[in-house]
Amino acid sequence: MLDSVSIKVIRWPLAQSAKVLNRFNVTANQVTLFGFVLGCLAFPALIAERYDIALVFILLNRVCDGLDGALARIQGISDSGGFLDISLDFLFYSLILFGFVLANPESNAIAGAFLIFSFIGTGTSFLAFAVMAGKRGIENPVYKHKSLYYMSGLTEGTETIGCFILFCLFPAHFAIIAYVFGAACWFTTFTRIYSGFHTLK
């Protein structure tokens, strides 16, 4: 829901940073992989309940996620790069939730499982429509410079990172935050399935 707004805010600083990286021959795929490694470092921090350190790595991962796209727009958007980016994004999201579950399984396990279940809904509806949209040549008028169709919804990337920040700032309230955000994810899933089905029909 907020991605279209947040993209406008971060577009200029990301574009300027990408120009600098491009001068040093850094590729978009290298930034994608580097960002994923940084994001994975949040996992042991979560298990150790060092939520402050985990938050730093989560934010660094998200910065890299924006930078790789900005670099790709300079160097040329590729299907392989888009595939790598979205695959590692979903792995990162589930890894963070798994980390919170392992940090406190007694309190977080069921809520964490529910949220991962919810992510399956948002992820599959998002990717399934992107495949069909690509097959039919349907373009998104909002996200014109993406390697695949970005289907909007109540919960998008901005809301997800906001949720992760709340988890790190208020880890004792992980369960309630996870249930609320999971419910919002299911609203997104149902609206995507409904609108996607009727659009393709």
How many C-beta atoms lie closer than 10 Å to residue 172's C-beta? 8
Q: What is the pLDDT of residue 199?
A: 85
The predicted pLDDT at position 6 comes to 74
Please, is 176 exposed, middle or buried when counting C-beta atoms within 10 Å of its C-beta (0-12, 13-18, 19+)? exposed
What pLDDT was estimated at residue 144? 55
Q: Which is nearest to 4 in space by CA: 181, 170, 152?
A: 152
| Rounded Cα distance, 15 and 196, in Å | 32
Q: Give the number of other Cβ atoms within 10 Å of residue 35's Cβ.
A: 24
**Ramachandran class of 151: left when φ > 0, alpha when ψ lies in -120 to 50, beta otherwise:** beta
For the stretch 68-96, what's the b/e string if a residue is b when 16 or more beta carbons lie within 10 angstroms of its beta carbon? bbbbbbebeeeeebbebbbebbeebbbbb
Selection from 112, 109, 105 nearest residue 179 by Cα: 112
CA distance 7 to 179: 27
pLDDT score recorded for residue 190? 94
Domain limits, the chain: 3-200
* Homologous superfamily in CATH for domain 3-200: CDP-alcohol phosphotransferase transmembrane (TM) domain (1.20.120.1760)
pLDDT in tens, the chain (201 residues): 676 777 777 888 989 999 999 999 999 999 999 999 999 999 999 999 999 999 999 999 999 999 999 999 999 989 899 999 999 999 999 999 999 999 999 999 999 999 999 999 999 998 988 888 878 777 765 555 565 666 778 888 899 999 999 999 999 999 999 999 999 999 999 999 998 888 888
Q: Which pLDDT belongs to residue 200? A: 84
